Amino acid sequence: MLSIILANGVLTGGDRETIRTTPADFLIAADGGARYCLELGLVPQLVIGDFDSLSADELENLISQGARVERHPVDKDETDLELALRAAKRQKADEVIVLGALGERWDMSLANVLLIAHPEFRRLRVRMLADGQQVMLVQPGASCVLTGSPGDTVSLLPLRGNAHGVKTDGLKYSLGEETLEFGYTRGISNVLLGETARITLDSGLLLCVLVPLERKREV
């Protein structure tokens, strides 16, 4: 089952087109992400959060259209996106697309990206989309297949320590069961040769970022 989560970060024109054209089995709005639903004429099955980013009128509008609301205290330990991911897990989603997870606050953006590496969500195939870029995880023993265009940038970042036995197929700089060390930049700025690439690893965890060719720029 595919679940789409709309968070309260930046949503570009391309992201709006994605949400319009991707058929989801379960649409979740994380707090202020519900405002995007109103703008796009979408009714989420669930609106979740503490609602510090959504007005009472906006919330009532969604309720009147059939959205279910799950309210949490403002003084809580989780972000609204974490609550939304848990809700997707409860709905037995096996694939989750997250839009609007990145924004102007670096702390929230980093926390949202790292959230998908939490062991609680390891069985969810989560992809974060932002202005044509994709963020996903590569788990040990599982094959990650990337889809893009020739020339797109692919970066592999180890999390929670070193990633061992990393193997790639379809990238310009191939890796053959090698180790990517945590904190080093060896896995940055590889290049997609065709329309697909495959990445596997034996142990550890990799954050994989796909950047379209038109957004390619070194920092």
What is the residue-wise DSSP string for 97-159? Answer: EEES---S-HHHHHHHHHHTTSGGGTTSEEEEEETTEEEEEE-TTS-EEEE--TT-EEEEEEE
Supply 184's token pair: 């080093």
Instruction: Specify the pLDDT at position 218.
Output: 53
Paired tokens of 97: 């697309």
Considering Cα of 203, then 207, then 213, then 217, what sign does the dihedral take? negative
pLDDT at 131: 87
pLDDT digit string, tens, across residues 61-84: 999 999 999 999 988 889 999 999
- Residue 174 has phi, psi (to 5 degrees) of -80, 150
Structural domain spans, the chain: 2-131, 137-214
| Bridge partners for 199 per DSSP | 144, 168
User: In the CATH hierarchy, which top-level class contains the domain 137-214?
Assistant: mainly beta
pLDDT tens-digit map of 161-179: 999 999 999 999 999 999 9
**The amino acid at 153:** T
Contact 165, 206 (CB under 8 A): no
CA–CA distance, 109 with 104 (Å, rounded to integer): 8
Q: How many CA atoms lie within 13 A of 54 on its CB side?
A: 29
Say whether pLDDT at 219 is over 60.
Answer: no
Q: Which of 62-66, 122-126, 215-219 has the highest mean pLDDT?
A: 62-66
Distances (CA, A) of 180 to 70, 164, 208: 41, 7, 12
pTM for the model: 0.91
Helices H, strands E: what count in the chain?
A: 5, 13
Residues 130, 113: Cα–Cα separation, whole Å: 11
Please name the fold of domain 2-131. Rossmann fold (3.40.50)
